[in-house]
Amino acid sequence: MESVKKTVSKYKCNTPFPSTRQRTVRREQPVNRSIRRRTISAKDTDRTCMDITRKTWQIYSCSPLYHFDSDKSSLKRYSRLLSATLTAHGRRGMGISTDEQETGTKAVFTVAMGLAVLSDEPDAIKLTINTNEGKSVAEFYFCSVEAEPVIKDMAEIPVKRKGRKQRLADQFTTLPLFLCKGNLTTRKHVFNWLKTEFDCNIRKIEFSCLSLTWMLAMWANISLKQKKSKSTKISWKIPVPDIGINTIETSFTAESISKLWTNVHPSGSDLISVEEVENFIGGIEDHLTQHFKIKFQMLPITSLNLEIGLFHNEGKIKVLSMRHVHTVLTHLSCLAIEQLDWTQYSTSSDTTPTT
Amino acid sequence: MNGSILTNEEFNEQVENFEANGTIAKKRKAGRRKSNADEDEEINSLDLEEEEEIERRMEREIQRQMDEDMRRVDTEDEMVEESDDESEEMNDKTREDTVVRMEDVEEERRDVTEESVNEQKKEKKKFKLEINKKQVGKYFAVFWEKPKTYYWGKLLKVFRDEVDGKIEQAEFKFWDKKSTSEDAVYWDWQTKEDIDIVTVENCFWGPSTAVLTSVGRAKSYFGFAEEKEIKCLLLRWLIIVYDLLTSKTKLHCLYGILFHYIGSDILCPSICQLLFLLTRKNEVTHYRISKLLELQKRVGIVPHICGLLSVYRMYQPSLISMSGNFKTFFKKQDRAWEQSILRMQQRHGINVFSEGINPMIPMPKVERKLMHQPLVTMAHNDTQNMQPLADHLLGKVPIYQITSFQELLDHFGQLDLDCQAFTLLSSTTFRHLVAIACDRTMPLRLSFWLHHCLNEELMLTGGESKRGIELLHIILQLSDLIQECLPVCEAFLFRYLCTWNGKDYCSYILKLLTRIRIFPYSVLHDLVLSPLHKLFVFSSNVYLKCSIINTMTEMLCNYLSLETSKHEVLSKLSALDASDITEQFRHTLYPHNAAQLDPEVIIRKLIVFVGELCAEGLRLEPNNLLLIHYALQFHLQVSSTFEIHAKPIVVAPTLSLVSAALFTLSSPCISVLLEILCNHRIALTKLKEEGSLTLAYQEEIDLLNQYFVDVYDSIWRRRAFKSGNDNSIFYKNLDSGDMDEMLSHTAFLSRRMFCLDRHPAFALTTRQYIETFDLPLESIFNAKFVLEENYAEFLKSRCLHKVLNFIIALRSPSN
């Protein structure tokens, strides 16, 4: 296992996220169990999940939106403002009055029910951008799925807004995960608009090797059961240029993957630790190295093709199973939060601070 | 002009309309209806205007062709001469007018507009130039045949024909300067009496009025032009002197009138530029935006309208949206005017324009700029559209309405900082706002932004970048202002240090480190000290080593002077009532749970760590004076802890540092070393007097005592190398027998080797002293001079008197 440890340390130094020791796997759609969970209607959930599956999304993290309201009139106003902005971008130098209901790009904000899981979580927002002819240019989902709050220390500080006393945290709407699809320039304009209007920052999420390894360990052995299990594919990048080969694709049958996983993670609980993940990928790499005489420990993983979805290291995802939309989005929300939260850096020291 | 055919009443009414439009938003709808009516009129008048314009241009074109031959002869020489004269003359004339009084300008403007109304009426009636008696005192343009020249002349008298009573000749007082150009802008004149009688046929333009002379007084260049051009020139002049005006309030009163003229093709560019400079948020109205948009639809996308629109957009993003990429909105014209104004300012030693007059106004680059001016309010939060009453009741005052410090103080509690938090970092004034603002969301939003930017600019890109430097610079300025490091920056530092190469942004990173809060020592050690230690030992030159030690000195200083007291207050507060977090804001921008730390223990551990770091550095860079200096400075800071900050912290310097400093060739080092020892001695004595000297100090006391003995022996008592003394630390282990033998024949000298008068570091001082005071040579041998008053003075003049302080302290009977 010596080599495994080395490998993992290689992963660690590139990780954009602080080292997380443990994660919980969520297998199915959330069940209404704890008090913090809200009751979700199955119809809404199905509609939204259906919309999200089988599309390739680029994912971003976004810091809490300042003074964002999700009531109907506000969303309408945002739609109007954004439409005008986008139309103006289409016609360079031409002023566009926000009042005139003119022809041009149309942006529509709607509430997407069924994605938010916790009761103190804001509902997800869907934004669609259509051209004059009604053709869809871009689609966005702003969501928070079972995410831990980012604003912690100062959350309880009372502030006044519109004459009412509020908590500081209430001034912000935390929708840390953005799913985006469609035209890149439109995306840029939309992001710029969001940044100026809601004082937020948007950053692309990219998956490091460790991140992809986590996903592999968590989701590789989830099978959909309805049909014959698909094999798990992993792509490895060759970091040396000009040798006539860029990537190596490897494929494993579902049985061998689950066999390896049960060996590594004998307890079968939903809580898995980083050591188990390290052992798991170490096992796969050792196996491949033995057969192909290529040091797979030194190759970074670029993409995963699992039964529940596709995950690319540039932050592109595609969920294939409707039942696992929440599984994936929960994890991605968690990653987005990790990208936003700075407080854990100072406490993530190996030695526990003396108190 | 569009408006010029209106009668005076109509005109006044219109002005009122416009002003009402600018100030009272509620009347907007009514105003709009009215102005629509006006607008129709205008469109009609515009057509007439244009016809006129075309006719006149044709006339001029014919004339130009006729005169072309003439001009070829003498154009060039004349022009050169003229331009020189012009500038000089202008300088003289504008001298009194450097401080422009707005009243004058405004009156003139009113004159211009009103009289233009009258004159235009006349012109409407009769196109052909007619001179009558009433026009005496007005100005006419006159031309001479052979050679063809043009003059301005003031009508003095008219002469009627005796037969039919027609006026055929007139007496003119001329501005005696001819021009070869038919363009009135380039005509010029001198104040020399030249009266002549000319036939009426030779007058081709006029009458112009006294308005022109008053304009001319301020700016003789204008010459006598037709109405529209005068307006245009006046506008251009206003643009030029805009920055010189002491008060713009009266100019703002004219906003409505100025905006009224925007439909004119000639005036539009200048109007747009002037309004671009003039516009304030409350002057951007629904009506004006729609008017401007209509105009844009009519004339197409032209830079000057886009310029004005962009200002409107900036103030009212909720009403208008636009984008585009123009290099500049407004062309730079009238360079000659600017030059002459500048020349005149230089002559009088005034410099109002810092970067030239009206530098070309570039299109704001939004995307790659780190931050911009905080004028942009969030569109959706706009007070004009959104619950204006509620906000009004709350007494929220938007930041752009604040104009003076007093206003700031008055509305401090209600300041509305609804723009993007980071834009407030762009200027010092706004940074102060950030530091003291009541808006509690501000620090939080700022943190998110900083976290994002620091990661984007520094973590993800290797090497230094301009934006990175700018960012760190701003962070440093902010943390200097609020005297604490932002938690988000600390978190970033902790992460950055792990992969830092010791080179990128070195000075900034080290400076930021000096500001960090007190952390448990284990955190401090793991996340800050050990990465620094690695750099210090493995991959750094002596300069980085010195900077690191210097950083540690400043960090210690910060801990002692600011952080410990802040920590005490915060922990007291949190112990009192955990929920009352607002109280904590008085002491820190980022309240945090003051954990149960003992700052003194942490500081002591820090000092020990740095002491060891210094020792390691001295091992790696033997006898490096720079390093010794920085190490001594650190320990000097440590030794003065008790004196300055009343913290009972006594940590003696390490043996390697003391020996390196004592036997160095640099006298200042020795002086500082002795000062350190002296300070420790004072601190310990005082602690003893207070009775708070516990056993914990015993180790330090023993070590310090050994230093005292050895230093005193070497420097004063002529007992260097004397072994056998248990209290000695340097000479203790020397084998006395061998030593004595070795030093036997030069024993006398060797033992005195490190005495004050002969110490290698002080040898030069001694020699200089002897030379200065012309002492006999024997005195070098007996070295009695070291006791003299003069010697003390001499050392003092070289900042080495601490040495004597040490000796005096040890010799004093109390010891």
How many angstroms separate the Cα of B567 from the Cα of each of A175, A345, B239, B584?
35, 21, 55, 11
Least confident of A16-25, B318-327, B467-476, B620-629: A16-25
CA distance A15 to chain B (A): 11
CB atoms within 10 A of CB B442: 18
Q: What is the pLDDT of residues B668-704, one digit of tens each?
A: 999 999 999 999 999 999 998 988 888 888 888 989 9
Q: Is the pLDDT of residue B723 over 70?
A: no
Choose between B535 and A101: higher pLDDT: B535
Q: Give pLDDT tens digits for B496-506.
A: 888 888 889 99
pLDDT digits (tens, 9 = 90+) for B254-307: 888 888 888 887 888 888 888 888 887 778 888 888 888 888 888 888 888 888
Tell me: pLDDT of A348 over 50. no
Q: Do A95 and B296 touch (CB under 8 A)?
A: yes
Residue B238 has pLDDT above 60, yes or no: yes
What is the model's pLDDT at position B560?
Answer: 93
Per-residue confidence band for B397, with pLDDT thresholds at 50, 70 and 90: low
Mean pLDDT calculated for residue range B93-104: 36
In the predicted model, what is the mean pLDDT of residues A209-221?
88
**pLDDT at residue B697 in the model:** 86
- Highest averaged pLDDT of the listed ranges A8-12, A19-23, A87-91, B483-487: B483-487
B490: Cβ–Cβ under 8 A, 6 or more apart, which residues? A346, B516, B517
- As a three-state string, the secondary structure of chain A is CHHHHHHHHHHHHHCCCCCCCEEECCCCCCCCCCCCECCCCHHHHHHHHHHHCCCEEEEEEECCEECCCCCHHHHHHHHHHHHHHHHHHHCCCCCEECCCCCCCCEEEEEEECCCCCECCCCCEEEEEEECCCCCEEEEEEEECCCCCCCCCCCCCCEEEECCEEEEHHHHEECCCEEEEEECHHHHHHHHHHHHHHHCCCEEECCCCHHHHHHHHHHHCCCCCCCCCCCCEEEEEECCCCCCCCCEEEEEECHHHHHHHHHHHCCCCCCEEEHHHHHHHHHHHHHHHHHHHCCCHHHCCEEEEECCCEEEECCCEEEECCHHHHHHHHHHHHHHHHHHHCCHHHHHCCCCCCCC
Q: What is the mean pLDDT of residues A119-138?
A: 90
Which of B276, B323, B373, B582 should we substitute to test contact with A (largest number of A Cβ atoms within 10 Å)?
Answer: B323
pLDDT band at A289 (very low <50, low <70, confident <90, very high): very high
* Residue B239 pLDDT exceeds 90: no
What are the φ and ψ backbone dihedral angles of A15, each rounded to 5 degrees?
Answer: -65, 125
Whether the pLDDT of residue A54 is over 70: the answer is yes
Q: Tell me which chain A residues have a C-beta less than 8 angstroms from the C-beta of B495.
A: 345
User: Which residue, among A184, A209, A14, has the nearest Cα to B460 in the 3D structure?
Assistant: A14
Q: What is the pLDDT of residues A77-104, one digit of tens each?
A: 899 889 988 888 887 777 777 776 567 8
Answering whether pTM is above 0.80, one says no
Residues of A numbered 327-346 whose beta carbons fall under 8 angstroms of chain B's beta carbons: which are they? 340, 342-343, 345-346
Tell me phi and psi for residue A203, to 5 degrees: -130, 140
Q: What is the pLDDT of residue A62?
A: 93
Least confident of A21-25, B191-195, B492-496: B191-195
Strands (E), B365-453: 397-398, 415-416
CA distance A222 to chain B (A): 34
Nearest to A151 among B439, B444, B523 (CB): B444
For A66, name the nearest residue in chain B, comparing CA atoms only: B445
Of residues B218 and B183, the one with the higher pLDDT is B183
**Residue B345 pLDDT more than 50?**
yes
Quote the minimal CA–CA distance from B80 to chain A in Å. 41
CB-based contact B313:A89 (threshold 8 Å)? no
Section A175-191 average pLDDT: 93
**Cβ contact B615:B657 at 8 Å:** yes
Q: What percent of chain B lies above the pLDDT cut of 90? A: 14
Residue in B325, B456, B491 nearest the CB of A342: B491
Asked if A105 is an interface residue toward chain B (Cβ–Cβ < 8 A), one would say no
Q: Does pLDDT of B188 surpass 60?
A: no
Number of CB pairs < 8 Å for A and B?
174
Shortest Cα–Cα distance, B489 to chain A (Å)? 9
Contact status, residue A261 vs residue A252, Cβ threshold 8 Å: no
Please compute the mean of the pLDDT values over residues B150-158 and round it to a whole number. Answer: 72
Candidates B674, B700, B703; CA nearest to B687 is B700
The tokens 């003139």 sit on which residue?
A: B108
Residue B399 has pLDDT above 80, yes or no: no
Residues from chain B contacting residue A162 (CB–CB below 8 Å): 387, 390-391, 394
Nearby residues of B130 by Cβ (< 8 Å), 6 or more positions away: none
Strand partners, B154: B139, B173
Question: Does the pLDDT value for residue B71 go beyond 70?
Answer: no
**Residue A171 contacts B, CB cutoff 8 Å:** yes
Inspect the interface and report whether the beta carbons of A353 and B494 lie closer than 8 Å: no
Question: Across all residues in chain A, what is the average pLDDT?
Answer: 81
User: Over 70: is that where the pLDDT of B60 sits?
Assistant: no
126-165 of A, contacting B, C-beta below 8 A? 151, 153-154, 156-160, 162-163
Highest mean pLDDT among A121-130, B41-50, B193-202, B744-753: A121-130
Check residue A319 and give its pLDDT.
Answer: 94
| Element spanning B765, H or E | helix B763-773
State the Cα angle at B173 between B172 and B175, rounded to 5°: 120
Q: Which amino acid is at B244?
A: L
A350 lies within 8 A of chain B by CB: yes
The residue in chain B having the minimum alpha-carbon distance to the alpha carbon of residue A172 is: B441
How many other CB atoms are found less than 10 A from the CB of residue A225?
A: 8
Q: Compute the distance between CA of residue B532 and CA of residue B500 in angstroms, rounded to an integer.
A: 9
How large a percentage of chain B has pLDDT more than 70?
A: 63
- The answer to whether residue A349 neighbours chain B at the CB level (below 8 Å) is yes
- In this prediction, residue B341 carries a pLDDT of 81
Q: Quick check: helix, strand or coil at residue B193?
A: coil
* Minimal CA separation from B435 to chain A, in Å: 17
Give the H/E segment covering residue B461. none
pLDDT surpassing 70 at residue B190: no
A314 touches chain B (CB under 8 A): no
In whole angstroms, what is the distance from residue B769 CA to residue B796 CA? 12
Model ipTM?
0.88
- How long a stretch of residues is chain B? 815
Whether residues B390 and A195 touch (CB distance < 8 A) is answered with: no
pLDDT band of B128, cuts 50, 70, 90: low
CA–CA dist B713, B725 (Å, integer): 11
What is the H or E stretch that residue B715 is in? helix B698-715
Closest Cα in chain A, distance from residue B272 (Å): 15
Q: Please check whether residue B283 is in contact with residue B252, taking contact to mean a CB–CB distance below 8 angstroms.
A: yes
Residue B247, C-beta contacts closer than 8 angstroms, at least 6 positions apart: B102
Number of other CB atoms surrounding residue B119 within 10 Å: 18
Mutate to test the interface with A, among B284, B302, B316, B380 (most CBs of A within 10 A): B380
Is the pLDDT reported for residue B124 higher than 90? no
Distance CA B45, CA B677 (A): 94
A3 neighbors A286 (Cβ within 8 angstroms): yes
Phi-psi map region of B652: left, alpha, beta (phi>0 left; psi -120 to 50 alpha): beta
Instruction: Name the residue facing A353 among B290, B318, B522 (closest C-beta).
Output: B522
Please, is B650 exposed, middle or buried when counting C-beta atoms within 10 Å of its C-beta (0-12, 13-18, 19+)? buried
Instruction: Give the pLDDT mean for B374-387.
Output: 47
CA B240 to CA B359: how far, in whole Å?
Answer: 10
- Say which residues have a Cβ less than 8 Å from residue B327's Cβ, sequence separation at least 6: B362, B363
The answer to whether B520 contacts A98, with C-beta atoms less than 8 Å apart, is no
Would you call B320 and A95 a contact, using CB atoms and an 8 Å cutoff?
Answer: yes
Q: Do B306 and A162 touch (CB under 8 A)?
A: no
- Whether chain B has a CB inside 8 Å of the CB on A174: the answer is no
DSSP-assigned letter for residue B362: B
From the list B289, B448, B592, the residue facing A63 with the nearest CB is B448
CA dist., res. B30 & res. B247, Å (int): 31
Minimum CA–CA partner of B421 in chain A: A199
Q: Is A62 on the interface with B (CB under 8 A)?
A: no
Mean pLDDT of chain B: 72
Supply the pLDDT for residue B89. Answer: 37
pLDDT at residue B630 in the model: 95
Average pLDDT of the residues in B71-78: 36
DSSP-derived 3-state class of residue B516:
coil
Q: Is the pLDDT of residue B171 over 70?
A: yes
Nearest to A196 among B376, B447, B526 (CB): B376
Average pLDDT over residues B351-368: 45
Beta bridge partner(s), residue A127: A109, A140
Residue contact A197–B379, C-beta within 8 A: yes
Chain B residue with the nearest C-alpha to that of A188: B367
Q: What is the largest CA-CA distance in chain A?
A: 70
Higher pLDDT, B66 or B145: B145
Helices then strands, each counted (H, E), chain B: 34, 8
Task: Quick: pLDDT tens for B555-571.
Answer: 999 999 988 888 888 88
The tally of CA atoms less than 13 A away on the side-chain side of residue B156 is 12
Would you call B491 and A351 a contact, using CB atoms and an 8 Å cutoff? Answer: no
B369 pLDDT exceeds 80? no
Closest B-chain CA to A17? B495
Q: Which of A190, A191, A354 to mutate to test the interface with B (most CBs of B within 10 A)?
A: A354
Closest residue in B to A88 (Cα–Cα): B322
Report the DSSP beta bridge partners of residue A128. Answer: A108, A139
Q: Average pLDDT, stretch B477-491?
A: 89
* Distance between B633 CA and the closest CA of chain A, angstroms: 30
For the record, the structure tokens of B348 come out as 């009088």
B290, B526, B579: residue with CB nearest A351: B526
Residue B800 neighbours by CB under 8 Å, 6+ apart: B667, B668, B671, B765
Residue B774 has pLDDT above 90, yes or no: no
Residue B446 has pLDDT above 80, yes or no: yes
Q: What percent of chain A has pLDDT over 70?
A: 83
User: What's the CA gap between B156 and B133, in Å, rounded?
Assistant: 9
Least confident range of A195-209, A211-225, A339-353, B136-150: A339-353
Which element (helix H / strand E) includes B127?
none
Least confident range from B114-123, B234-243, B629-638, B755-764: namely B114-123
Could you tell me the pLDDT band of residue B401, with boundaries at 50, 70 and 90? low
Interface test with A, best of B286, B322, B493 (most A CBs within 10 A): B322
Structure-token pair, residue B524: 């401090």
Picking from A67, A81, A153, the nearest residue to B318 by CB comes out as A81
Report the length, in residues, of chain A: 355
Q: Which amino acid is at B253?
A: C
Nearest CA in chain A to B296: A94
- pLDDT of residue B439 exceeding 50, the answer is yes
Q: Tell me: pLDDT of B360 over 50.
A: no
B274, B251 Cβ separation under 8 angstroms = no
Chain A positions touching B393 (Cβ under 8 A) are 163
Cα B630 to Cα B100, B101, B102, B291, B635, distances in angstroms: 58, 60, 61, 69, 9
Calculate what percentage of chain A has a pLDDT beyond 90. Answer: 35
Tell me the mean pLDDT in the region A49-64: 93
Residue B8 has pLDDT above 70, yes or no: no
